Amino acid sequence: MTLVVVAIPVVRADAASRALEHAAEAKALGADMVEWRIDAMAEAEEAVQAAMRLVRESPLPCIVTIRDESEGGAFSGDEADRLRIWSALADAQAPPAYLDIELSAVRESQQTKEFVASRHRREGHEDSPRVILSFHDFRGRPPGLSGKTAELWADPSAAIAKIAWTARTERDNLEAFELMQARAKPTIALCMGEHGLMSRVLAPKFGGFLTYARLDEHGTAPGQPSLHELLNEWSIRSIDSSTRVFGVMGYPISHSRSPAVHNAWFRAAKVNGRLFPISVAPIWEAFKATLGEFLACKGLDFSGAAVTAPHKVHALRYLEECAGTIEESARRAGAVNTIVHGASGALRGLNTDVLALEEVLGAAMAHGRRGRELKGARALVLGAGGAARAAVAALAAAGASVTILNRTPRHAAAIANSYERPKRKGSSRSAHAHPEVVAHSSAHMGAERFDLIANCTTVGMQGGATPEGDPLPERVELDESVLVFDAVYTPKDTPLLKRAMSAGARTLGGESMFEAQAALQFKAWTGKLPPRG
């Protein structure tokens, strides 16, 4: 079983009482162990006495760590200061379960090397703490990672090997999984930083010895999830070797509600799956490499992906190159937002945005004060990415006439051209046989009127490049006869929707569309719609 360890920093000797209260809270919430991070107080005269108290009164088994500043800690004193505390704790009547000591300290200090070796000779004695021999790199993936790991495994003094580095991308997590699978002794392998969440949460799937959590906002390493998140939102206790893994792939991705929504549905439906945010740089090569490596990772059981901006067209291209099955919804949109990876290895792509937009836009138009059908309506679509392609496909299929407006006119024109009728019988030109889809330039946009305006850009999105922006030209008229839809759902009231409401227009936020398309994704992955309520 992978242990859940709450790391508790103790910055001053007189903070021991408060730290013990935190440990009691961690125990009540379900932690297995605490790590006393005492590097900030290790040079104080009272350090030994305070450390002895923390261990003696700890409500849970504990690790004591005095992390050197060279590996991301706060200790900058002489090695003798650490040895003084380690020796006192090792000889105490109630010692800690583990001492975390850096590999670099063993290499550089003969006294530390001898101390660690003495702990190894006493293993098996109840009064002897075991050594976690560790290596950390906060700059990125360390050169010679495999060699350093092999050195940790080969050292007989190390009861546990620990290696941690700052992930450059989510693909670094895959290497952590490989290390855990290949372990020669109990191993902790994790990635720090915003891209390392997966290695922390999925440690039980790959047999990691432990994973760390923070109790509050004061973590001891970047990227630590809170204990509540780890136990409740990620349900780490039920993760095992058969857990299926999914991802939402996009850039930026921190705003996405997909992990929270799908993981709640997995719990409610008793599906052993987890969906993670996967940030992928906004270029084809990054998408291709990331998806390919996740699909190929042994033991990961990567079963599918939700794809968001700016990678929906890239997802279609990937499936075409891999000879995957592309459903009609994706063909119509020219973009894929959902990938299914079957047990046989087959890939299938669909576009739940198209199906959801047909539903929510049709209902919103019909239920307005001046209700009408989409058929025959004049619609303006802002953008030319995957979401815009889905909106054009949905609206064109419903019989609306569609104008596409994008800051790069040729991208809008490329979408519009795919809806032109073939010029002659037998033409090989790709077409959706709809005569009322046109591209427009904002420079030539007059004071035009539309029945429906759909923003399918990321303008106005929290965490995006222009969170305060409004993509709709001022010349476009808004009043109570117009429905304004914004696919952005974070924040709920975007600058565009605020402007539309102030003009008296009807508005529809991205939340309803997001939930409708997410439910269809869940069905594609699991074979059933998510539980309601």
Active-site residues, by number, are 312
Pairwise CA distance, residues 192 & 181, whole Å? 19
For residue 500, which of 382, 375, 366, 392 has the smallest C-alpha distance?
382
Q: Give, for 350, the enclosing helix (H) or strand (E).
A: strand 347-350
Bridge-based pairing state of the strands 437-440 and 401-405 = parallel
Question: What's the rounded Cα separation, in Å, for the pair 393 and 437?
Answer: 10
Tell me which residue of 162, 232, 167 sits closest to 194, measured CA to CA: 167
d(CA 44, CA 29): 32
Structure tokens at 103: 């590999």
In angstroms, the CA 18 to CA 443 distance is: 63
Tokens representing 220 are 């001891």
Contact 7, 37 (CB under 8 A): yes
CA angle 239, 245, 247 (to 5 degrees): 135
Among 191, 136, 134, residue whose Cα is nearest residue 160? 134
Three-class SS of residue 322? coil
Distances (CA, A) of 216 to 3, 29, 51, 70, 196: 19, 12, 21, 25, 19
Give 68's DSSP letter. Answer: B
Of 504, 180, 169, 274, the closest CA to residue 370 belongs to 504
Supply φ then ψ for residue 439, to 5 degrees: -100, 150
Please name which of 143, 57, 64, 68 lies closest in space to residue 94, comparing C-alpha atoms. Answer: 57
Tell me if 165 sits within 8 A of 136, measured CB to CB: yes
- The greatest distance separating any two alpha carbons of the chain, rounded to the nearest whole angstrom, comes to 91
